[in-house]
Amino acid sequence: MLQLSRLAPLTLLPLLVLCTGCGENNTDAPAASGTKENLTEVVLQTDWMPQPEHGGFYQAVAKGFYRKEGLDVTLLPGGPNTMSVQKILRGRAQFAMNRADAVYTFNQRDVPVIMVMATLQHDPQSVMLHADNPIDRLPELDGESVMAVPGLSWIQWVEARYGIHLNIVPHDFGMERFLEDPSFIQQCLLTNEPFYIRKAGVEPKVLPLRESGFDPYHGVYCLRSFAEEKPEIVRRFVRASVRGWKDFIHNDPGPAFALIAERNSRMTDEFMAFSRGEMIGRRLVTGKKDGSDDTGQLDPERLENLARRLHDLGIAEGDPAAPNWYTTRFLPR
């Protein structure tokens, strides 16, 4: 019941893009024109199975926020082999979830997508160790074996940032090895694995990756052509989604929890409350410490700094000024 890949390894991107020219269902036109009860059908490809980290979208579905915007939104569950980029390029989904660093890298590889909103203002990715492990800081991971998804940007970021080397063990999307081996180290999400590790009787220690400066938005992207040709659909989808996220965080999350549990039998009330509590306590959705609410918002300066840093650390190649890889035009003000 692990949920930390959230991204096909970027090393697979050339293959994914190449495959978009294969198959009888390939099309360059987004398939968002169908209607049902006078609603425009829209598909959001999520990055994992239904879970609280998708809570705002499920709240918007459950409380009818999308329907009030004239949209019939389908939330497609994801997983380690979701291939969301391929679905976006083929028009099988109009929107998909990913991190800002991934969307930027897609553009560097000539995948014409654009980020239109944030779901998480801060990155929940972390490194998890046993509580009695003497390692307390990310630089102390030098030479250690870490189970993680190969190809993710944070690995290169941490290595370059601290001048260290990590021995990456490909992730098996389980926690058994961690529970059995007191010296085992693995990638996790603050909102997920620590709960299950504690339930199994083991106390974890987490080192948030944002302590290294790696703190990309998690958000939603679509084809640039779709945003240009169907701006009102994008605007209405973003507006209802932001409303859903604010309602999920600030009000009763029960409607989203019920729908998530209905679609994912592994979701319990206890776990969902834990996950939402971490999102609230760590301001993952709302952002700033001063009490202001940045739910859904994208800061251009922060995004440009991320792009420059990816180049400075040698993670990204080519022109750092990739055009049109994000936009704030559809965000509620």
pLDDT confidence bin for 88, thresholds 50/70/90? very high
Q: Is the pLDDT of residue 31 over 50?
A: no
For position 81, what pLDDT does the model report?
A: 80
pLDDT confidence bin for 80, thresholds 50/70/90? confident
- Does an H or E element contain 74, and which? strand 71-76
Q: CATH 3.40.190.10 region(s) of the chain? A: 10-121+216-312, 125-212
Q: What percent of the chain has pLDDT over 90?
A: 80
Cβ neighbours around 4 below 10 Å, total: 24
The whole-number average pLDDT for the span 193-210 is: 97
For residue 111, give the nearest of 127, 128, 96 by alpha carbon.
96
Q: Which residues does 257 contact at the CB level (< 8 Å), separation at least 6?
A: 52, 55, 267, 269, 272
For position 36, what pLDDT does the model report?
A: 60
Q: Where are the alpha helices (DSSP H) in 100-162?
A: 100-108, 153-162
Better-predicted residue by pLDDT, 166 or 35: 166
What predicted TM-score, i.e. pTM, was given to this entire model? 0.87
If one looks up domain 125-212 in CATH, what number appears?
3.40.190.10
- List b or e across 169-183, with b for residues whose CB sees 16 or more CB atoms inside 10 angstroms: bebeeebeebeeeee
Q: Give the pairing of strands 95-99 and 113-120.
A: unpaired
- Does an H or E element contain 39, and which? strand 39-45
Q: Using one digit for the tens of pLDDT, what is the confidence trace for 264-322?
A: 999 999 999 999 999 999 999 999 777 789 999 999 999 999 999 999 988 888 777 66
For position 289, what pLDDT does the model report?
A: 77
Q: Using one digit for the tens of pLDDT, what is the confidence trace for 202-246?
A: 999 999 999 999 999 999 999 999 999 999 999 999 999 999 999
Estimate the crossing angle of helix 231-250 against helix 269-281, to 10 degrees. 100
pLDDT confidence bin for 64, thresholds 50/70/90? very high
- Does an H or E element contain 45, and which? strand 39-45
Better-predicted residue by pLDDT, 93 or 6: 93
For position 43, what pLDDT does the model report?
A: 98
Judged by phi (left if over 0) then psi (alpha if -120 to 50, else beta), residue 41 lies in beta
Strand positions, DSSP E, 77-224: 95-99, 113-120, 125-130, 145-148, 167-170, 186-189, 204-208, 218-223
Q: Is the pLDDT of residue 21 over 60?
A: no
How far is Cα of residue 288 from the mean position of the Cα atoms in its chain? 19
Class (C level, CATH) for 10-121+216-312: alpha beta
Q: Using one digit for the tens of pLDDT, what is the confidence trace for 239-272?
A: 999 999 999 999 999 999 999 999 999 999 999 9
Q: Using one digit for the tens of pLDDT, what is the confidence trace for 117-138?
A: 999 999 999 999 999 999 999 9
Judged by phi (left if over 0) then psi (alpha if -120 to 50, else beta), residue 213 lies in left
Q: Token pair of 129, please?
A: 């160790």
Identify the sign of the CA torsion 167, 169, 174, 175: negative
What's the chain's average pLDDT? Answer: 89
Q: Where are the alpha helices (DSSP H) in 50-99?
A: 55-62, 65-68, 84-90
Q: Are 96 and 223 in contact (CB under 8 A)?
A: no
**Partners of 71 in beta bridges:** 40
Q: Is the pLDDT of residue 14 over 50?
A: no
Q: Is the pLDDT of residue 110 over 50?
A: yes
Helix (H, G, I), strand (E, B) or coil at 172: coil
